[in-house]
Structure 1
C-alpha cells in the first residue's frame, strides 16, 4: 500500500500535465476558469463513450442496457427533430416521475443541441404553466399526473408527448407509439460546443416564483469529473488503492431527477462508472431496502430523511444491505448522530455528504468516511474547479472561523438566472455568486454551513420558498397576514410552519383544503398557528419573522 501524502501534494500530482485529472486554465463566458483537459466536449460525447452491453436502467420488472437506453434515446431524438421541429437551443421540458423515459428523454434532448428543462414534478398547474411559458418550451414530455395538471392550465403552442399515459389529453401524442413507428434510427447529427446551454432546472427562491437555472455542457461534465477527482485525492491522501469491483456496481435513485442530486450524482454519474441505476415509483424505505437486497446495490444518495429512513430499516435486520458501500447525502447537513448511525448500522457503507446547489451543478465541497466521522458537522473541502469565500455584509472576505455569507465561483457555476436580470443583479458580485448560505471555513479549509440567509426551508431535500407559501396563504379571502418559517424536524430536517392572522371566519382545516389547489403537498404547512392580533412588524413595516418563528417553535416544543 502506498504511503499517505499531504492533501496539497495529492492535488498537485493528480491535476498535473499528462494525468487523467489534468486541469488547465481557459476562458468560458468571459470568466477565467479551470477545466479538465481530457473531458468529453459535450454530454452527447459523454454518453457515446459508454454505450456498452452492460445492464443500466432498472425499473420494476423492466431492464435496459446502456446500448438499449441509447437506442431508445436516439428514437426520441429523431422524433423531436423530425416530427416536433426541435432545433439547437430550443427548450424541451420533462415533467414526470423517475421513469426510464425521463432519463432516455434527457439524453436525447441534450444530444440534439436542445436544452433539457427538468421541471419539478410536484408543481401544481400554476407553477407548471408559469415555467413552461417562462422557459419558452417547444415540447413537453409528461406522464399522466402532469398531463392532468396541464389540462387545468393549458399552454398555447406547446407540443406534448405523453409517457405511460392512460388517457391522452387533447393534442398529446403517445411517446411509445411514435418512437416505435420510427424503428431503429441513429441520433440526429448536430454541431454542439462545450459552452452551449444543455440543461435548465428551476429552483425555489425566497420570492414567489421559481427561477430557471441554465447550465452548459461544460458546467455539467466538469461537475461529474470533479467528484471523481475528489475521490482520487482522498485515496492518495489516505494511501488507498481501490481494487477493481468483483461485480458491476449499482445505485438506488432515491431522489427526483429534477434535483441535481438525482440528475447529476445518481443518473449522469452512472455512465462513467458503468453503474446500474435502479429507480422506484416513489420513495418507500421498505421497498428501497428490498431492492438493495435483491439487486445487490452498492450506493445511495439522498437527503437526511431518506438516509434516516434506511437506517431504521437496516436496524430491523429484515434485509441484507451488506452490499451497500456508500451512503451519500446532500440538500441539508445531517445531524451528527445520523452520521454515527450510518457507520454503526451497515456492514461496509461509508457515509459521505457534500454542499452544492442547483446553481453550481451540485458540486462545491465534499467529505467522506473517517474524515466525515471526525468532522460530522462539516461539508468538507472545496472542489478543485471552484473557489469558496465567506464574506460580511459589505463583501469583505472574513478570516477563518468567522461566520458570514458563502460565495462561490468557478467552472460549474451558472452565469445567470433565465430571463431574470433583477435576480442576477442581487445574486452576483462580478463572477462571484452569493449563495445566501451562512457559513464558516476553518483554518484547515473545512466548510461548515451554519444557516441560510435566504428565506428558504429545506424539507427532506426539497427547497421551499417561504414567499411562495405566504403568497398562497394570502390568496385565501379570510387571511390578512401570514409569516412562513422553518420548524426543526427530526426526520425531514425542517417542516413548514406558518403563523396566520385573519378574520374571525378563518378555519385552519378549510385553509389547508384551500392550499391543496395552490401548493405542492410538501409545501403545505404542517403547523399553522392562528394569531389573535396583527403580526408584529419593524418600524419600516416588515414582519418580524424571526420573532414569530422563535415564539411558535417555543410553543410547539412546550406542547410536545
Structure 2
C-alpha cells in the first residue's frame, strides 16, 4: 500500500454507508436506534444483550428501550442531557439506547472519579438528569452539591435510596415522539483530562454509527458473533468498540462486571465469546495464569488490543486468537487498524520492523492520516511527526469549549498530540505521547492533575509527577516531593485517595530537597525520570503481589 500526505485503507460495507441509507422509522439517514430497530424487525428473537443474569433479544431490547425513553423524557424533558455514573451493568446500555430513541444527549461519566473530579465534569455538563447505581449515590450527591446543581435523579436498579429506578420503567408504554436526525448530537464522551480538566467530545448519531460500522468491518463481526465487555462501559473500548460495534453488525453484546483473570476463560466459554477489547495489562495477566484446557479450547477469534509486539505474539500463539492492532482516541474513535485479511507472516514482519513501537496499521473507511513535523507534512519510511487525522469518525466539537476545538484543528485535520512513524507500505506506528501524559494499564493520567492535588497539601512546597516503567501496567505514577515541614508518605497517599481516582494515586513517592530546573525555572522531568528509582523511593505496594482483578 502506498502512503503520502494521506494514507487510506478503504473498508467499505453496506453498514458503513448507513450514514446515507434510508432508515425504517425516520425516512432519512440512520440513527443509533433505527439500526437496532431494523434488527428487531428482521431478527426479533436474536440475542442482543446479556448481563446480570438477564438476556435481551433485539425485540425485547427495543421495546424496553422505548419504555425507558418515555420515562427519561417525562423526567428530564426533550433535548436534555443525561449523565450515567455506574459500574458495568446491562441497564446502562438500555439507558444509552433509550437516549438515542428520544433524541436525548447521553454521557457515560467515569465511575472511578472521586467527588472533586465528578464535580468538575458536572459543572461543565450541567446534566438535566443523573442516573447512578447504589455504589455511587453518595459521591454523586456530594459532587452535585459542590457544582451547585440540582438535576433530576434516578437509580439504575431499585435500591435503598428510594429513587425512581430504570429497572422499574421497562414495562411502561413506549416513547411516541419523533426520532432525532442523524446529524443530531447523541453523546458527550469525556477525554482523560491529560492536559487539563476532561473535555467533552460531542458525537452525532452519524459519527457513532460510522465508527461502529468501520470497527465491525475491521473485526469481521456479524450476527453470529458474541462480544464481551471486560473494560469499563464508560471507556470507548466498552460502549462503542464493543457494544455498539456488535449491535451495528446484528450481534450479541455481553456486559461483564469487570475483568477477572481467575474467571476469564469460564466467562468466554459460558457466553461463547468471539470478540472483545482489552488493554496490554490484561494480556499480561492472562499470560500469568497457569496453562489450562479452557484456554486451549476457546471460542475467541479476534481481540482488539495494542501493545508490545512480543506480548501480542506470545498471546496469539498461546491462546489461538488474533490480535488486531489499532490506534485511536476519544476524539477519533478507532482510526487505524491492521486488516484481518493480512497474512500473519506479513503482519509479523511489520510488527518486527517497528522495533518495539506498536503497529497501528492504516486509516479506516474514508479516513486520512498524515504526519506533521515542524509545521510541514512528512512522508516516507521512517518519517516521524504528530499524527493528524481527517475523517467522518471525528467528533463534532468540544462541549462548551470553542477555544479548545479551534486549537485542535488545522482545517479538516485534527491534531492528536501523538507521535507517529511511517513504516513499510505506509503502515503507521505509534511512538509516544507528545503531551505530558502517563499511561497506566490502559488509563491516561495527566501528571498536572496529580501535581495540582498534591500541591494543595499544606506540607508540600513543590511537586513533580513522572512515569516510571512497570512490567504489568507499562507505566506507574511517581510523585517527587519537596516538603515544607514534616509530612509522611502515608499522609500524602491518604490526601490523594480522597481526591483522585485510585489509578491516578502515585504508587511511588520520593522526597528531595529541591527539584531540578532549567534556566527558565521549568522542572526538568527528564532528569527526574533518569534517576527515578534510585535510593529513597517509597513504594506503597512494597511486599504486595499484583491482583488478578483489574479494578484500578
User: What's the TM-score once normalised by structure 1's chain length?
Assistant: 0.85
Residue 125, structure 1, aligned to residue 98, structure 2? no
Contact 1:87–1:113 under 8 Å retained in 2: yes
1:103 aligns with: 93
Matching residue within 263, 267, 278 for 1:287: 263
Residue 135, structure 1, aligned to residue 125, structure 2? yes
The 1-side partners of 2:37 and 2:534 are apart by 56
Residue 345, structure 1, aligned to residue 318, structure 2? yes
Residue 359, structure 1, aligned to residue 331, structure 2? yes
**Residues 503-542 of structure 1 aligned to structure 2 (within 5 Å):** 503-531=484-512, 533-542=513-522
Residue 154, structure 1, aligned to residue 132, structure 2? no
Give the drift of 1:450. 0.5
- Where relative contact order (Cα < 8 A, 6+ residues apart) is larger, the structure is 2
Residue 463, structure 1, aligned to residue 444, structure 2? yes
Matching residue within 374, 380, 386 for 2:361: 380
Contact 2:11–2:365 under 8 Å retained in 1: no
Residue 74, structure 1, aligned to residue 47, structure 2? no
The 2-side partners of 1:23 and 1:395 are apart by 33
The 2-side partners of 1:22 and 1:281 are apart by 30
The 1-side partners of 2:333 and 2:327 are apart by 11
The 1-side partners of 2:467 and 2:338 are apart by 25
Question: Which one is further off, 360-369 or 151-160?
Answer: 360-369
Q: 1:321 to 1:187 in 2, by over 3 A?
A: farther
1:144 aligns with: 134
Give the drift of 1:287. 1.7
Contact 1:289–1:319 under 8 Å retained in 2: yes
Give the drift of 1:470. 1.0
The 2-side partners of 1:289 and 1:556 are apart by 41
Number of residues paired by the alignment?
515
Q: Name the SS of the counterpart of 1:168 in structure 2.
A: coil
The 2-side partners of 1:395 and 1:113 are apart by 42
The 2-side partners of 1:22 and 1:108 are apart by 23
The 2-side partners of 1:307 and 1:375 are apart by 20
Give the drift of 1:21. 6.7
User: What's the TM-score once normalised by structure 2's chain length?
Assistant: 0.86
1:311-344, CA deviations, whole angstroms, 9 ceiling, x for partnerless residues? Answer: 3337344555421111221xxx411221111221
Give structure 2 stretches of 5+ with no counterpart.
24-28, 352-357, 543-552
Matching residue within 189, 192, 197 for 1:201: 189
2:209 aligns with: 221
Note the aligned Cα RMSD (angstroms). Answer: 2.8
Give structure 1 stretches of 5+ with no counterpart.
25-34, 233-241
Contact 1:501–1:534 under 8 Å retained in 2: yes
Q: 1:21 to 1:441 in 2, by over 3 A?
A: farther
Contact 1:352–1:366 under 8 Å retained in 2: yes
Give the drift of 1:415. 3.2
The 2-side partners of 1:201 and 1:495 are apart by 25
1:333-359, CA deviations, whole angstroms, 9 ceiling, x for partnerless residues? Answer: 41122111122112x411112101110
Give the drift of 1:440. 0.7
Matching residue within 324, 328, 331 for 2:300: 324
Residue 176, structure 1, aligned to residue 157, structure 2? no
1:470-512, CA deviations, whole angstroms, 9 ceiling, x for partnerless residues? Answer: 1111111111111112222222222212211112412111110
Q: Name the SS of the counterpart of 1:310 in structure 2.
A: helix
**Residues 27-42 of structure 1 aligned to structure 2 (within 5 Å):** 41-42=30-31
Question: Which one is further off, 71-80 or 302-311?
Answer: 302-311
Contact 1:367–1:379 under 8 Å retained in 2: no
The 2-side partners of 1:390 and 1:554 are apart by 37
1:54 aligns with: 46
The 2-side partners of 1:282 and 1:186 are apart by 31
Q: Name the SS of the counterpart of 2:479 in structure 1.
A: strand
1:166 aligns with: 159
1:3-46, CA deviations, whole angstroms, 9 ceiling, x for partnerless residues? Answer: xx999xxx99975xxx737869xxxxxxxxxx666795211212
